[in-house]
Amino acid sequence: MSSILEARNIVRDYHVPGSMLKKARTVHAVKGVSFTVEQGKTLAIVGESGCGKSTLGRILTLIDPATSGELLIEGKKIDIAKGDLTPEMRRKVQIVFQNPYGSLNPRQKIGDILTEPLVINTNTPADERRDRAMTLLKKVGLEEKHYNRYPHMFSGGQRQRIAIARALMLNPKLLVLDEPVSALDLSVQAQVLNLLADLQDEFKLTYVFISHDLSVVRYISDQVMVMYFGEAVEYGSRDAVFSNPQHSYTKTLFAATPRADVESIRARIARKRAA
């Protein structure tokens, strides 16, 4: 199976200027991360807040350049710092952000939000843009009547469905999902995750799923990469990482995750009584 995305020793540094009381310094946000994602598969990037996973996500979505390293999409090397990003390549990678309340323009109707990527990136006629928007509204579980409504008229789960539909408007090959369900209720999380799985099967999409929720990662991922202070400390198949973690940080991360099954609850109660 061919790879859609390949990262080779990606590094991202930020220069922090000095002041009268502090010296200038360099923050190493991402430190030499490498991985490959095959077509139709899902790579989950896991870690605590501040570990560099969202910074890496911005590099993968061609928003920020890497300080060094190579990023290849469908085998083609991309370096946005050199200005070699074409509209065609931009269409291949889209992102779904964490907060559905902040990622949609409150002054735009849903139809305008959905068709805007086509207006900016293509020469598609207006009637075709509208037809595609209507089609994708149905694909994500909404209705045609929602086309002329505003974002504030929808729940959080519905807004995230709209954000997913917007990301699909350009027929991308790769979706980067940055904590796409963390702001949603548990029941809505399950619905959105099932929707993402169905869309992946239908459109042969490749996902990079950024999350700190291990239960979500275990459900949706094929591969898992664990990040710690900008480094990829563990990388492998979902089953291998969850069944036999090798790095001490991965073991600590898994141990800190609460489990909701009956036996785990009984064991916690027993430990509290013993203490």
pLDDT per position as a tens digit, 184-235: 888 888 899 999 999 999 999 999 999 988 888 988 999 999 999 999 999 9
- What would you report as the CA-atom Rg of the chain, rounded to the nearest whole angstrom? 20
pLDDT in tens, 17-56: 888 888 888 989 999 999 999 999 999 999 988 899 999 9
Separation of alpha carbons 87 and 76, rounded Å: 14
Cα 7–Cα 174–Cα 38 angle in degrees, nearest 5: 60
The domain ranges of the chain are: 3-17+26-257
Which one is the CATH code of 3-17+26-257: 3.30.70.20, 3.20.20.450, 3.20.20.70, 3.40.50.300?
3.40.50.300
Q: What is the pLDDT of residue 270?
A: 74
Nearest to 91 by CA among 66, 73, 77, 113: 73
Q: Give the pLDDT mean for 90-113.
A: 90
The pTM for the full model equals: 0.88
Indicate if the alpha-carbon torsion angle 251, 253, 254, 259 is positive or negative: positive
